[in-house]
Amino acid sequence: MNFDLRLPIGALFTLYGALLVSYGAFGDKAQYARSLGLNVNLIWGLVLLAFGLTMLIARARGSKRP
């Protein structure tokens, strides 16, 4: 089966990360009162983005292996 799960996981989390980061950076800031003053969209978005990109990079490297 030539299906590599790292691609959809990587793509989904890169997309989610990018979405949250941009929403956190440019969206409404007033709502972060409820998340204890933390811009959690920006922070957690970066974490998800990093996870997604790691998966994509691992896939790009791993696919060269036989």
Partner 1 sequence: MHISLSAVDYAVIVIYFAFVIGVGWSLKRSMKGSADFLMSGRSLPAWITGLAFISANLGAQEVIGMAASGAKYGIMTSHFYWIGAIPAMVFLGLFMLPFYYGSKARSVPEYLKLRFDEKTRGFNAATFAIMTVFSSGISMHALASLLRLLLGWDYNACIAIAAAIVLVYIFLGGLSSAIYNEVLQFCLIVAGFAPLVFLGLKDVGGWSALQEKLIPVATSQGYAAGTWTQSWSHLGTANANPMGVEWFGLVMGLGFVLSFGYWCTDFLVVQRALAAKSLSAARRTPLIAAIPKMFFPLLVILPGMIVIALPHVGGHSVLPLTADGTPDYNMSIPTLLARYLPSGLLGVGLTALIASFMSGMAGNVTAFNTVWTYDLYQSYMAPGRSDRHYFWMGHVATVAGVLLGIATAYLASAFNNIMDLLQLVFGFVNAPLFATFLLGMFWKRATGHGAFFGLLGGTLAAAVFHGLSLAAGATPGLKGAWIAPDFVFRSEMAQSFYVAIVAWSTCFILTVLISLATRRNKTDAELHGLVYSLTPRPSEEGEPWYRRPVVVGSIVLAVTLLLNFLFR
Cβ 20 vs Cβ 48: under 8 Å: yes
Identify the CA nearest to 6 among candidates 57, 65, 66.
57
Residues 5-64 that bind partner 1 (CB under 8 A): 5, 8-9, 11-13, 15-16, 19-20, 23-24, 27-28, 31-32, 34-36, 38, 40-41, 44-45, 48, 51
Query: Of 23 and 59, which CB lies nearer to partner 1 in the complex structure?
Result: 23
Closer CB to partner 1, 15 or 60, in the complex: 15
Asked if 9 and 65 touch (Cβ cutoff 8 Å), the reply is no
